[in-house]
Amino acid sequence: MTSIELPMTHRIIAPPRSPLRMAMNRFLANRLAVLGLIGLSFFIIACYGTLPWTLHTFNQQNLPQALDPPSWQHWMGTDTLGRDLLARFLLGGAISLLIGVFSAIVAVGIGLTVGLVSGYVGGRLDALLMRGVDVLYGLPYILLVILLRVALVGRISHFFTGIGLPQPQGLAGIVVLLVGIGGVSWLTMARVIRSQTMSLVNQPYVEAARATGAKPARILLRHILPNLIGSVAVYAALTVPSAILAESFLSFLGLGVQPPVPTWGNLAASGVQAINPIHTQWWLITWPCVGLTLALLCLNFLGDALRDALDVRTR
Amino acid sequence: MTTYIIRRLLLMIPTLLGMTFMLFAVVRFAPGLTTGGGQFSAGIMQSRQAQKQEQAIMERRLHLVDKNGHPISLVMQYILWLKSTCEGHLGTSIVYQEPVLTLIEQRLPVTLTINAIAMAVIYLVSIPGGLITALNQGRLIDRGYGFLSLALYSLPVIWLGSTVLGFLANPQYFNWFPSAGLHSTNTANMTFFRYIADYLYHIVLPIVCSVYGGFAFLSKQIRGSILENLQQDYVRTARAKGLSGTTVLTRHVFRNSLLNLITLTGMSLPGLLGGSVIIEQIFSINGMGRLAYTSTLARDLPVIQDLALVVSVLTLLSYLAVDICYHLADPRVTYG
């Protein structure tokens, strides 16, 4: 009976907690989220910390050692050209994560702009933009990426050659991939931001801002946008894994980042061919897919926990 | 209601125009054009001259150039395409040498059945799943289900798909399932039920692969909307007047959560038509996704354009159907 007196006084003295603080506590209370965060940090450190080594070795061929199973010398084994799979795995992870993050940035940029404008302006522009979003939802998104790729790669690589960048073809492929994946991943984001903007526009404080003569741009950026940060963070976090997955699909179809540059997607895609009736080289498909799955799992745990912590609706 | 439907149908026209023009522009923006593959498969080697001639004919037929061989502007190309489409002339595939409509008629049923079955399976698992997790919020079963469904969602389908194909449909390991196609070779002398069973046996693996990732999102949404409804005042009223827990759940909470479900279903309906490129590619199913994919790669312009048109029309129609269903499910929703 003596043990309950301290918490009571403690609770009264504790300062009032901000919404951010409360959200953070909810996030940290979610054990899966913390696990995801730790796992992701591990991947980031492993993939980016080893860059000096992997950038040198990822394309070093050693034909006599081709298709060696995992050993002390090559922890993950070697591929068909005798390249060390560990180096390719780590560099592939670094590139895959980069693709995920940059596609998410593109998606957030488009989705936020369309959602804000559509929700704030309303009327015909809103109807037009939202019908566009409706129909884009209907088309298979992989197809749109492929179309954009086919349409743009030549032009962009021509442009890169013009300004004198090295390896214009490969670089153009990656740029188009980022723009393409980002360019089809913004739809959900735009819808969510639009509906939230519409409800925020009618809030008294927005009206007050308008009464003081604030311009629409200022209202949008200083008054409405800060209130949307939660949703933006949630959907950005959920876009990263789906973009990484989209890259792996495209690689499977032979349209992703082109070898010899590795990503988890194209390593897995080339590993798929290793499953055959004659002799199965399990390590070729297992490692990249395990990496892909674990990273996606960590990212999805994070995104899910962020949604639980920040999204008012599903709390 | 009729006025509403007619107005919605009319509103579809500008949407369709904008949509098709956008796709049209992207498709035509891409360089290159395929010329008849039919001649090559017939085994006739063409001279360079003949190839050039064929290219010219094709360009004229697709309205890329006018009669004198001068290039036509993009907007004009679009208007010409629109005109011939409105007159009922859908294109003819260059690669398959068949009308696009025939190709779609062959492939749409395939994709539609597989997707419909997959969707039914997803709902059959997710609705009870969402209900149970909502009622046991925070308990082991809730957390376990959440973990498991997210884990499944994170599993890349290219891995699972090719692994099950490589091990469960492989004479060297387990020869349990067929590795490709949708029918056995001797379908002609099968009874109807035997035929259906054979079909189901062939689509087990594709269905498994298209289903397993879908539980996470839907269950989570259902769980969320049930939890939201449970906190409403009307639930407290219903409890207070002495209704049993089950009645409150089935008659009040679940029914109101269904409204949310209709919106979700409506948003996923267009996905039924599209078909998954990856799954159709892994399991060698000739569906819509694969048709779209191969014709995009082959730059088969007529197919891409008309496919986009058909998918857009069907998409918009399904959105309309959802709005009507919404009205039927919730009489409070009215349309002016």
pLDDT band at A112 (very low <50, low <70, confident <90, very high): very high
- Is the predicted pLDDT of residue A139 greater than 70, yes or no? no
Task: Say yes or no for a CB contact (<8 Å) between A252 and B278.
Answer: yes
How far apart, in whole angstroms, are the C-alpha atoms of residue B75 and residue B80? 9
pLDDT band at B124 (very low <50, low <70, confident <90, very high): very high
Residue with tokens 């994070």: A302
Q: Give chain A positions within 8 Å (CB) of B296.
A: 143, 146-147, 150
B122-130 average pLDDT score: 90
Instruction: Give the residue from B277, B290, B301 with the most A CB atoms within 10 Å of its CB, the best one to mutate.
Output: B277
How far apart, in whole angstroms, are the C-alpha atoms of residue A283 and residue A67? 9
Would you call B228 an interface residue with chain A, using a CB distance cutoff of 8 Å? yes
For A143, which residue in chain B has the nearest alpha carbon? B293
Q: How many CB pairs under 8 A join A and B?
A: 133
Would you call A123 an interface residue with chain B, using a CB distance cutoff of 8 Å? no
Q: Give chain B positions within 8 Å (CB) of A301.
A: 150
pLDDT band at B297 (very low <50, low <70, confident <90, very high): confident
CB A145 within 8 A of CB A184: yes
In Å, how far is A110's CA from the nearest CA of chain B? 17
Would you call B309 an interface residue with chain A, using a CB distance cutoff of 8 Å? no
Of the candidates B15, B23, B162, which has its C-beta nearest A131's C-beta?
B15
- Is the predicted pLDDT of residue B69 greater than 70, yes or no? no
Per-residue pLDDT, A314 = 45
Instruction: Give the residue from A43, A143, A153, A286 with the most B CB atoms within 10 Å of its CB, the best one to mutate.
Output: A143
Would you call B138 an interface residue with chain A, using a CB distance cutoff of 8 Å? no
Q: How many residues does chain A have?
A: 315
How far apart, in whole angstroms, are the C-alpha atoms of residue B266 and residue A178? 29
- Give Cα B155 distance to the centre of its chain: 21
Higher pLDDT among residues A177 and B90, named by residue: A177
pLDDT band at B43 (very low <50, low <70, confident <90, very high): very low
Would you call B116 an interface residue with chain A, using a CB distance cutoff of 8 Å? no
Per-residue pLDDT, B36 = 47
Longest dimension (CA), chain A: 80
pLDDT band at A111 (very low <50, low <70, confident <90, very high): very high
Would you call A143 an interface residue with chain B, using a CB distance cutoff of 8 Å? yes
pLDDT band at B185 (very low <50, low <70, confident <90, very high): low
Residues 239-298, chain B, touching A (beta carbon < 8 A): 267, 270-271, 273-278, 281, 289, 292-293, 296-297
Give the residues across from A12 on adjacent strands: none
CB B34 within 8 A of CB B304: no
Phi and psi angles of residue B223, each rounded to the nearest 5 degrees, phi first: -55, -45
What ipTM was estimated for this complex?
A: 0.76
Residues of chain B with pLDDT > 70, as a percent, come to: 81
